[in-house]
């Protein structure tokens, strides 16, 4: 099936129907726990073939081959990594046979469960290769399209999407992520960010599945629709599961499920189906209830939008003025050049943090200096900056090969700086921009150099925009650089820029400039820059590349927005002015604006933990020790307090998985310095906690984070890994004299094994507490099976363990006094 044929499915403006759940139905059909589901279904085709045939009969137009986790990394957990091709090709062929060619067959792809660098050890390109291997096998098996689903990491979704598009460029690829109750993924990505990034990279539909019932998906679909230019997918669970007589039961009837699906279509979903708990009866009811509904056409508020993993930024003329932070650029910065040559990115990370704090909307990244491998350093900088800041990036390089490598790695939709009217540069850069879906700054110059007249400048601009359209892209991707020259050399420089801004404004094109160029070679440059900025904003300048640490400049920009009555401008101005104690000096002085910088209330060591600064923390700890501080004091008042703040920020949804891991890693490095210096005191040793993902479940991201956090709070943690039998968990707890057992499960089909652990605990080790968590777990389920507590995340788990053990100590002390 081609992408064009896929688009034809939506011509009648009615929903397109997917199938329903596989795992929960296969468990009912006899698939045993603990086996590799994909291998079992390949070897036992009758149950899955019957289910797929029933879905087709119920009205599914697209049925998924059950190749879900049949990638090399997941199959290795079962010793089946050499069977990637045979398992995937077999499942695809069997699905086509079961549906008898009466519906489309989608190759199903999901996450590997491993962390990508720099948080983990898996390289991005290695992950792309893993997905390419699976995609090639599914194509040979005869799939018509791909469904990349139940993804938690935006970067991993990008890897899978790139793999599919590079393996089969004209085959449709649908992507779907799973979101927590707060409306974000485990990594902090909201539906808006996922929509912008994935559709720009070539996803033919975007959406969400699993994790929740249909009613809670409505606001997420509405958020996606704000930016969606492609069809939106909704594949919810059949409500929240309950455990009844040791069986996971989904309570929504087919009728109730289908009623809720009507709301999703009205909210903007155009491709609908069911996830965990749904059956052919649910799909039949859904089809009957929604087949005649009219779907909404894509109607994004703007296509001029870039995004990081965690922040969307619109770039629209006449809206909020934006500053692109210019500081991550070694040009003219000898210290930064020296650091880059030494392989250090400390200043890059510091610049990223400070520019975000000072109000930049976008960060420019330039690694162009001699003595380094610019491509390698650019990739490293992107990895590091992505975890230091939420801001979207502007990739700044003269080399097409560096630009492509950067756009490929960056987990967002970037802005390219820049594409000029030079024929060779257009020829090389436009295909890169198209492949990776980037926006780009247009330099209206030609192979002859800078334009000599306004007419020539505008003609150059129109020539580039014509080339953009010829390459199959909309000019909505373009931001025009108005080419600021110093007024010291050309008195009409500013006036010419204003004319170009006016010209672009009449064409509806956003504009940008290198602000400080206007004052080059002049005294008191800040005043020239500020005056130029004021007038340029009044003419309609959209953004400028500048240094956001210059508060006079930033407040001038905010004041300009306020005076032009732009939405939210007054609030932004008052907030920024209140946070900065700005003193504007008299004209003629050396300093035009000074700022009393707010000093952090945190100690340097604690701040390093909170910011996840693994580079400096050991040096800071050693410095404190050299200055006579007690290592125990550093541990308690800096390191532990720092990780507690990280946990609080995580609870407040200000931090997400990347920041949590970075903070925990920083603390671990700090502890490594002081641990040899601490006097061992058995009375101060914390209790032992045994952690495991229960039998049959091979998901361990959440469990690993809990282990990391508990260790950093001083607990002796024994990590048994994933897919662990109840008997082995209890045996480990008894042998280690553990005070707490922590259990995790992601799948509804495996959560029942938690009850087995509780039962064995009651029989063999009743003094040990049990806490549980996972995507499918609820507080009521914890109460139902007799666990001692439920935690929604790692930070909450630490507090829960602390509380339970404090209660135990209080009870034991009470018993001792009674005796």
Euclidean distance between the first and the last CA atom of the chain, given in angstroms as a whole number: 78
- Upstream peptide bond of 418 is cis (omega within 30 degrees of 0): yes
Answer whether 197's CB lies under 8 Å from 191's CB: no
> Has 513 been labeled as part of a binding site?
no
Nearest CA among 596, 574, 571, 599 for reference residue 583: 596
- What's the rounded Cα separation, in Å, for the pair 153 and 159? 10
Q: What is the distance between the alpha carbons of residues 519 and 157, in angstroms, rounded to a whole number?
A: 45
Write the DSSP symbol of residue 515. G
On whether the CB atoms of residues 67 and 138 are closer than 8 A, the answer is: yes
Q: Is 774 left (phi over 0), alpha (psi -120 to 50) or beta?
A: left
Q: Which tokens is 61 given?
A: 């137009």
- Which DSSP symbol is given to 397? -
**C-alpha R_g of the chain:** 29
Pairing of strands 740-744, 688-693: parallel
Q: Measured between alpha carbons, how far is 493 from 772 in angstroms, rounded to an integer?
A: 66
Query: Cα dihedral angle (618, 352, 665, 622), rounded to 10 degrees?
Result: 10
Q: At what angle do helices 84-99 and 45-58 cross, to 10 degrees?
A: 40
| CA dihedral of 615, 616, 619, 625, whole degrees rounded to 10 | -130
Between CA 764 and CA 731 the distance in angstroms is 9
The 3-state secondary structure of 642-703 reads: HHHHHHHHHHCCCCCHHHHHHHHHHHHHHHHHHHHHCCCCHHHCCCEEEEEEECCCCCCHHH
Query: Which helix (H) or strand (E) is 307 found in, with range?
Result: strand 305-307
Residue 276 is labelled as binding a ligand: yes
DSSP state, 590? S
Contact 109, 147 (CB under 8 A): yes
User: Do the beta carbons of residue 313 and residue 413 sit within 8 Å?
Assistant: no
Beta strand 581-583 pairing with 594-596: antiparallel
How many other β-carbons are positioned within 10 Å of the β-carbon of residue 443?
Answer: 22
Helices assigned H by DSSP within 1-109: 3-8, 23-28, 37-43, 45-58, 72-76, 84-99
Please list the helix, strand and coil fractions of the chain in percent, rounded to the nearest 5, in that order: 50, 15, 35
Whether 565 has a binding-site annotation, put simply, is: no
Binding-site annotation, residues: 210, 275-276
Q: Binding site residues for Zn(2+), as ranges?
A: 210, 275-276
């Amino acid at each position: 099936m081609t992408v064009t044929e896929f688009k034809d499915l939506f011509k009648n403006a009615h929903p397109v129907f997917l199938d329903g759940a596989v795992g929960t139905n296969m468990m009912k059909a006899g698939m045993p726990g603990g086996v590799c589901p994909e291998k079992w279904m390949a070897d036992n085709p009758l149950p899955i073939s019957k289910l797929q045939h029933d879905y087709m009969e119920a009205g599914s137009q697209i049925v998924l081959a059950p190749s879900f986790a049949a990638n090399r990394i997941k199959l290795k957990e079962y010793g089946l990594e050499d069977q990637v091709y045979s398992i995937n090709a077999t499942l695809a062929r069997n699905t086509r046979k079961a549906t008898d060619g009466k519906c489309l067959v989608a190759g199903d792809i999901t996450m590997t469960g491993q962390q990508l660098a720099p948080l983990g050890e898996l390289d991005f390109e290695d992950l792309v290769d893993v997905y390419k291997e699976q995609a090639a096998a599914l194509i040979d098996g005869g799939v018509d399209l791909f469904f990349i689903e139940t993804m938690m990491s935006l970067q991993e979704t990008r890897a899978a999407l790139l793999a599919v598009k590079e393996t089969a460029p004209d085959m449709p690829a649908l992507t779907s992520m799973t979101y927590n109750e707060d409306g974000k993924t485990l990594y902090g990505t909201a539906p808006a960010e996922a929509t912008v990034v994935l559709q720009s990279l070539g996803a033919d539909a975007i959406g969400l599945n699993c994790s929740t019932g249909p009613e809670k998906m409505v606001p997420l679909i509405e958020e996606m629709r704000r930016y969606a230019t492609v069809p939106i997918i909704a594949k919810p669970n059949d409500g929240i599961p309950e455990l009844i007589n040791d069986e996971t039961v989904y309570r929504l009837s087919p009728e109730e499920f289908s009623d809720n699906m009507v709301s999703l279509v009205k909210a903007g979903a155009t491709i609908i189906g069911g996830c965990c708990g749904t059956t052919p009866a649910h799909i039949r009811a859904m089809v009957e209830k929604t087949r005649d509904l009219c779907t909404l056409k894509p109607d994004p508020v703007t296509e001029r939008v870039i995004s990081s993993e965690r922040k969307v930024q619109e770039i629209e003329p006449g809206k909020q003025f934006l500053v692109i932070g210019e500081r991550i650029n070694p040009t003219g910065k000898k210290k930064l050049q020296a650091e880059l040559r030494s392989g250090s990115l400390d200043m890059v990370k510091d610049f990223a943090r400070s520019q975000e704090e000072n109000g930049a909307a976008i960060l420019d990244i330039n690694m162009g200096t001699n003595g380094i491998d610019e491509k390698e350093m650019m990739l490293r900088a992107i990895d590091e900056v992505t975890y230091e800041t939420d801001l979207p990036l502007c990739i700044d390089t003269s080399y097409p090969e560096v630009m492509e490598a950067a756009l490929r790695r960056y987990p967002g939709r970037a802005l390219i700086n820049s594409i000029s009217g030079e024929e060779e540069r257009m020829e090389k850069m436009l295909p890169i921009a198209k492949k990776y879906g980037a926006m780009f700054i247009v330099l209206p110059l030609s192979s002859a150099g800078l334009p000599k007249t306004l007419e020539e400048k505008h003609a150059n601009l129109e020539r580039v925009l014509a080339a953009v359209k010829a390459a199959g892209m909309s000019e909505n991707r373009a931001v025009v650089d108005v080419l600021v020259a110093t007024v010291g050399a050309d008195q009409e420089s500013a006036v010419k820029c204003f004319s170009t801004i006016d010209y672009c404004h009449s064409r509806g094109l956003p504009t940008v400039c290198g602000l400080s160029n206007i004052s080059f070679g002049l005294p008191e440059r800040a005043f020239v820059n500020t005056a130029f900025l004021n007038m340029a904003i009044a003419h309609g300048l959209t953004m400028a590349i500048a240094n956001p640490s210059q508060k006079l400049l930033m407040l001038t920009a905010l004041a300009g927005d306020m005076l032009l009555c732009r939405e939210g401008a007054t609030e932004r101005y008052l907030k920024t002015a209140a946070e900065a104690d700005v003193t504007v000096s008299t004209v003629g002085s050396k300093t035009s604006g000074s700022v009393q910088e707010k000093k952090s209330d945190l100690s340097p060591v604690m701040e390093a933990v909170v910011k996840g600064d693994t580079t400096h923390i050991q040096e800071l700890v050693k410095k404190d020790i050299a200055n006579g501080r007690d290592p125990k004091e550093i541990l308690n008042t800096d390191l532990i307090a720092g990780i507690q703040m990280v946990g609080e920020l995580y609870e407040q949804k200000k931090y997400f998985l990347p920041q949590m891991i970075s903070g925990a890693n920083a603390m671990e490095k700090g502890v490594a310095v002081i641990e040899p210096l601490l006097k061992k005191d058995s009375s101060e040793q914390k209790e032992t906690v045994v952690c495991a993902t229960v039998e049959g479940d091979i998901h361990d991201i959440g469990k690993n984070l809990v282990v990391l956090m508990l260790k950093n709070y001083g607990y002796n943690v024994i990590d048994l890994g994933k897919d662990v039998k109840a008997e082995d968990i209890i045996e480990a707890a008894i042998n280690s004299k553990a005070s707490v057992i922590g259990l995790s499960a992601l799948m509804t089909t495996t959560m029942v094994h938690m009850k087995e652990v509780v039962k064995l605990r009651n029989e063999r080790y009743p003094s040990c507490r049990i806490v549980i968590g996972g995507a499918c777990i609820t507080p009521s389920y914890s109460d139902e099976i007799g666990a001692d507590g439920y935690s929604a995340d790692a930070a909450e788990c630490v507090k829960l363990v602390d509380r339970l053990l404090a209660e135990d100590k209080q009870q034991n002390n009470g018993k001792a006094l009674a005796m």
